[in-house]
Amino acid sequence: MKITKLTPNFEVADIRQTVAYYEGNFGFMLVMCVPETQDGIDQSFAADKEYVYAMMQKDQVEVFFQRTDTFKEDVHYAAGLPIGASVSFYMEIEGIGAFHRKMKGSNQQVTDLKTTWYGMQEFYVKNLNGYILGFAEKAV
């Protein structure tokens, strides 16, 4: 077996709200979304539709967001589990100091920026759906 890609699929309560959060805070762009009818793919949100899925991208990173009801249908092991996770999604970025200042000023749950014993500057954000996002850059 050869693994060629890993894309997290986050269970979320509200697709539009989550997409707006990732656009506004992290600069991700909406690539495509699936309406509640699941009869096609839209490239942007239509005002008269509800959505169950969205794919977003920033640089070489993709993330999927799937509304709770369809996520639990598709991923049977998630039945009975709450949204959120006991895992962090760790991303190496450039410009961590400025990004940390931006996040600290955004009224979100953000840890302090620290330099680790293994030579990384890093901090964590708990996002609106309860997921933990880690951001890191090699300390100079």
What would the pLDDT profile of 98-122 be if each residue is shown by its tens digit?
999 999 999 889 999 999 999 999 9
pLDDT score for 55: 98
Question: Domain of 108: which CATH number?
Answer: 3.30.720.110
64 and 90 belong to one structural domain: no
Number of domains the chain contains: 2
15 and 78 belong to one structural domain: yes
pLDDT score for 88: 87
Report pLDDT digits (tens) over 56-78.
999 999 999 999 999 999 998 88
72 and 131 belong to one structural domain: no
- Residue 72 has phi, psi (to 5 degrees) of -70, -30
100 and 128 belong to one structural domain: yes
Q: How far is Cα 51 from Cα 65, in angstroms, rounded to an integer?
A: 10
Q: Is the pLDDT confidence value at 25 over 90?
A: yes
The mean pLDDT of 40-59, rounded to a whole number, is 97
Place of tokens 């998630």: 78
HSE-CB of 58 using CA atoms within 13 angstroms: 12
Which of 53, 82, 111 is the last residue before a domain boundary?
82
Range of the domain at 23: 1-82
pTM above 0.95, yes or no: no
Q: Is the pLDDT confidence value at 128 over 80?
A: yes
89 and 61 belong to one structural domain: no
